[in-house]
Structure 1
Amino acid sequence: MRAIMGLDPVGAITRSVEAFLVALLMVFAVACEQAKLPNLLLISLDTVRADHCSAYGYGRSTTPVLEALSAEGIVCDAAYSVSPITAPSHATLFTGLMPQTHGLRVNGERLSDFGLTLAERLTAAGYQTAGVAGSFVLNRTFGLDRGFEFWDDYFPAEGSKHPSSEWMGHEVPAGFDRRADQTTEIAADFLRDSRDPDRPFFLFVHYFEPHGPYVPPDRWRKDFPCDQGSSELESMVSAYDAGLAFTDDEVGRLLKVLDEMGSTEDTIVIVTADHGEGLMTHGAMAHGQHLYDEAVRIPLMFRWPNRLAEGRKLAPAVSLADLAPTILELLGINEGAQEMDGRSFAPWLLSPSVEGVTFPVFMFRGKVRRAVVEKRWIEGERFGVLDGQWKFLTSESEEDELFDLEADPKERMNLASSYPQEVERLELLLNPWVRMKSPTDGSGITLSLEERQILEALGYGF
């Protein structure tokens, strides 16, 4: 009867099922699009102090590419490395752990198997992972390649700035390092020829320039000339700046490859450095001896089109130890960050309204041989903490130093004797890190209950 009246129950049911399936497919497609993981390009510049980057207000145009990048994203005004040397800093970059935790305290040591690396975590999440090292310091001998499917660390002897067959007791099979343009070519080849189109990629690129010796290509040296009668130091600083400009240009060349591939919109780009350079600001030309800002304050910037605000500055101090957990949160990967020493500041990047909370930033210098710098002995390990305007440095063999970075950004006036209450407060923050022993050295973590409570209150877990 219903069929005669024009009602077709079978057809109605079929159409309803079809409509439901179409709606289900649309929901599934939207969910898939939302679940699509972005690519990640993480660039590490060796030996770059933030205050020599024009992106941070330096008078010379050393980093026009980074200036453009920061205009398209977010620049961290006060980013700090955990160490003034390369291997410990990169170990922290990859693990989110402080040197006291991951156990790699000085160059030439091997990263332990304690804790997972960022590459291991992203591989497990479905990423294709690749790394391009710029110097032997990041050779796979030292375990910093852990988790990467592809790791390029072979450096031809020709063109190396450091012709050496041995370094820190390890044989150097060919060259020690490669120039920035060679690094760009290898990274670009991976993007063009080796990437898996069915997986997001995580590409880490380490530029060794402008690490000493400062011998930039002539084309860049001419852009940073010295006046007649300039001192040897002025000439060396100009050469350092030229090497930085050369590297900046190569970063731009690599970013153009992303553009050519149509991957810019789908890629988070992060540019940072492992540490700075002395340039005689406190009596050291190179790095590794001090924890002053020229040695540990580094550039850090993010670009993620349509997700992160453009042209924004992030004021609170952040640490290189915070980068791995921040990356995981940006990618929506919920596992792993709680195991790290660093804290994610992804909420600060994603929403300006949550900015304002600050945390102390810790830094560490591994053992150095006894030496005289600016008529003072330096020796052994040294620890530092930055909390608000106050920066405190301490060790067993050197005098304590307290600086008010707001009033004294050059760190020239030691206020330790004038503000004993601040010294006491910052010592309390530092004490757990000073006494902490790496869980990889067989000694375990030996902290008092009070020290554990201090660290836990700051967000550090065990």
Structure 2
Amino acid sequence: MLDGSTDQTKSLARLQPTGTLMAAKPNILFIVLDTQRRDRLSLYGHQRDTSPQLDAFAQDATIFERAIAPAQWTIPAHGSLFTGLYPGAHQLQQAHQALPHEHITLAEHLQAAGYHTTAFCNNPMVGLLETGLQRGFHHFFNYAGASPNRPVDMRRSGPRKAVATQFRKLARKVTNQFAHNDMMFKLSLNPLVVPIWSRMVNYKGNTERSIDDLIDYLGTERAGSSQKPLFTFLNLMGTHTPYRPPQDVVERIAPSIKHDKHAWRFITEHNADAGAWISPADPPLADWQRDTLSTFYDAEIMDQDVHLGRLFAYLEASGALDDTVVIIAADHGEGHGDHDFVGHSFVVYQELVHVPLMIHYPERFPAKRIPTNVSTRRIYHTILEMAGLYPDSDVEALSLTRSLNGVPDPEGGVAFSEAFPPDNLLTILDERMPGIVTNRKLTQVRRGVYDGDHKLAMVGDDVENLFHVASDPSEVSDVAEEKPDLAETLRQRVSQFVDDASKEKAKATYNGGVSKEMMDNLRALGYIE
């Protein structure tokens, strides 16, 4: 027995006893390229050779051409990746919210099944805020914030370790205050303050160190005697603002920019103005300004790709690829003035929600490209299936193994995205750009539905646009008036989707997450060690 709860039994059903489990389960490495646009990777046809290491790794992977992020920004997107639910259902939509305990996270499932769960995270939104996204990890290493937490810290002892631990707790508490206090958040966006915190508190983490530590960790685990399979999560934030790639990388991307004083001045001012990272472009950015943002963004991709190459080389040389499922995806993309929006706060246009996704595991995922629309929330179901865990019928049905060519997709090529506006930004924008919140309808939830070659975008209950994204991937031509019947059909589909999410929100798998008592019971039964 677990603890007498039927829902708990259902949620953690079909687990194998420890001995059987350890011999059969593959290791799983889940890499999130934070804020990575699909169209800026050479892997997906970008004119610049931004990602040669990723391109080479993907040659033996299944590449999804039409992967759709469930949300346009970090917190709700990670909530979907970790629960398999859309944001309207899992309810983690704001920085000051926490994932309801009734939604068991991916790491909680895997930990309960005997996996050793470890995270190497560069995004403070994921690693430092009390959102519930850290639930289920034995170790969660943070590379962002005033006091990063690395594996080396675990080997310290005595007064030094005690002081570091207390300072880390204080820094974490202060960080969470910014998510809950509008005044503190507003202060943090002051251009005089932004350069301080964006550099001194490791806002983007440290890509190089996190990958160094990950390689060391994997090497130690493979060399040791532990029989536990590994679930490892890596979040990389190199392509997020502010853009400060090495100068030599910028010049490789765009040699002519070396002497372009306007471009360097613009990017310096943009990096110091965090409000500009999240504001609609009003007035619209000039072409040269958009090109400058694109150039520095592409340089960040190239710089991060070098470090990914080191990780891929280790996986190959160590033999880890023989028994490891490697999943690489973006949580969302980024706007550079496209559709007159900058950043990733309010809309569901292609540049924000059409994201890269690839899976390297030749045993189940052949080297091919898949043209079907799929939601990246299904990574959750895929990982659970790879681990042999089936807490409910959705896992087997929604695993991305069901979307390979020749196999009918269970969702019929339909995927949704939801943009719940970050409420701590609305007050800032109302002061920074009076009237913009009302004029652009920024308080309303925007949603998109992809169905075949078309995509409908809605703001609130109203149709905003209809695009034929197969022939118009930049979403320039609105065809809603030309195809009113299709627009109405898709509008009804979105309406039904919202109703279904409301019903899902009311469900409770069980109350309290994976409790200590449940873990003790599972351990006593031999399901976990």
| Structure-2-length-normalised TM-score | 0.70
CA contact (8 A) 1:154 1:174 kept: no
Q: Which residue of 1 aligns with 2:376?
A: 320
Alpha carbons of structure 1 residues 250 and 316: separation in structure 2 relative to 1, 3 Å: same
CA contact (8 A) 1:98 1:321 kept: yes
Separation (CA, whole Å) in 1 of partners of 2:255 and 2:498: 44
Counterpart code for 2:496? P
Q: Which residue of 2 aligns with 1:150?
A: 139
Q: Which residue of 1 aligns with 2:178?
A: 167
User: For each residue in 1:58-81, what CA deviation from the matched residue of structure 2 results, as whole angstroms up to 9, or x when unmatched?
Assistant: 011111122112211110000010
Larger deviation: 266-275 or 231-240?
A: 231-240
Decide which of 218, 225, 230 is 1:201's aligned counterpart: 230
Alpha carbons of structure 1 residues 431 and 397: separation in structure 2 relative to 1, 3 Å: closer
Decide which of 212, 221, 224 is 1:185's aligned counterpart: 212
User: For each residue in 1:140-172, what CA deviation from the matched residue of structure 2 results, as whole angstroms up to 9, or x when unmatched?
Assistant: 52110111111112535499xxxx966323799
Higher-helix-fraction structure? 2
Give structure 2 stretches of 5+ with no counterpart. 1-18, 149-173, 185-196, 264-287, 509-529
CA contact (8 A) 1:103 1:438 kept: no
- Please give the residue correspondences for 1:118-137 in structure 2 after superposition, counting only pairs within 5 Å: 118-137=106-125
1:175 deviates by 4.0
Does residue 234 of structure 1 match 2:273? no
Alpha carbons of structure 1 residues 314 and 440: separation in structure 2 relative to 1, 3 Å: closer
Alpha carbons of structure 1 residues 194 and 155: separation in structure 2 relative to 1, 3 Å: farther
Q: Which residue of 1 aligns with 2:27?
A: 39
Larger deviation: 170-179 or 214-223?
A: 170-179
Q: Which residue of 2 aligns with 1:362?
A: 416
Separation (CA, whole Å) in 2 of partners of 1:438 and 1:233: 39
Alpha carbons of structure 1 residues 226 and 379: separation in structure 2 relative to 1, 3 Å: farther
User: For each residue in 1:382-412, what CA deviation from the matched residue of structure 2 results, as whole angstroms up to 9, or x when unmatched?
Assistant: 1111111121111238652111112322211
- Please give the residue correspondences for 1:271-290 in structure 2 after superposition, counting only pairs within 5 Å: 271-290=328-347
CA contact (8 A) 1:216 1:239 kept: yes
Q: Which residue of 2 aligns with 1:212?
A: 241
Q: Which residue of 2 aligns with 1:343?
A: 398
Alpha carbons of structure 1 residues 181 and 337: separation in structure 2 relative to 1, 3 Å: farther
Decide which of 291, 294, 297 is 2:354's aligned counterpart: 297
CA contact (8 A) 1:325 1:343 kept: yes
Separation (CA, whole Å) in 1 of partners of 2:497 and 2:504: 15
Separation (CA, whole Å) in 1 of partners of 2:415 and 2:504: 23
Give structure 1 stretches of 5+ with no counterpart. 1-30, 446-462
1:280 deviates by 1.3
Decide which of 353, 376, 379 is 2:406's aligned counterpart: 353
Q: Which residue of 1 aligns with 2:467?
A: 403
Alpha carbons of structure 1 residues 36 and 168: separation in structure 2 relative to 1, 3 Å: same
Separation (CA, whole Å) in 2 of partners of 1:437 and 1:328: 22
Counterpart code for 1:82? P
1:176 deviates by 3.3
Q: Which residue of 2 aligns with 1:48?
A: 36
Does residue 251 of structure 1 match 2:251? no
Q: May I ask how many residue pairs the two structures share in their alignment?
A: 405
Counterpart code for 1:178? G
Alpha carbons of structure 1 residues 246 and 181: separation in structure 2 relative to 1, 3 Å: same
1:343 deviates by 2.0
User: For each residue in 1:267-310, what CA deviation from the matched residue of structure 2 results, as whole angstroms up to 9, or x when unmatched?
Assistant: 11110000001111211221122101111011000111444322
Cα RMSD (Å) = 3.1
1:35 deviates by 5.5
Counterpart code for 2:484? P
User: For each residue in 1:194-252, what CA deviation from the matched residue of structure 2 results, as whole angstroms up to 9, or x when unmatched?
Assistant: 57631110100000110011111334223222525562332221110011112222222
Separation (CA, whole Å) in 1 of partners of 2:330 and 2:467: 23
CA contact (8 A) 2:381 2:395 kept: no
Alpha carbons of structure 1 residues 210 and 97: separation in structure 2 relative to 1, 3 Å: same
Separation (CA, whole Å) in 2 of partners of 1:215 and 1:158: 21
Q: Secondary structure at the match of 1:315?
A: strand
Separation (CA, whole Å) in 1 of partners of 2:351 and 2:62: 22
1:82 deviates by 0.6
Decide which of 417, 420, 423 is 2:481's aligned counterpart: 417
1:86 deviates by 0.3
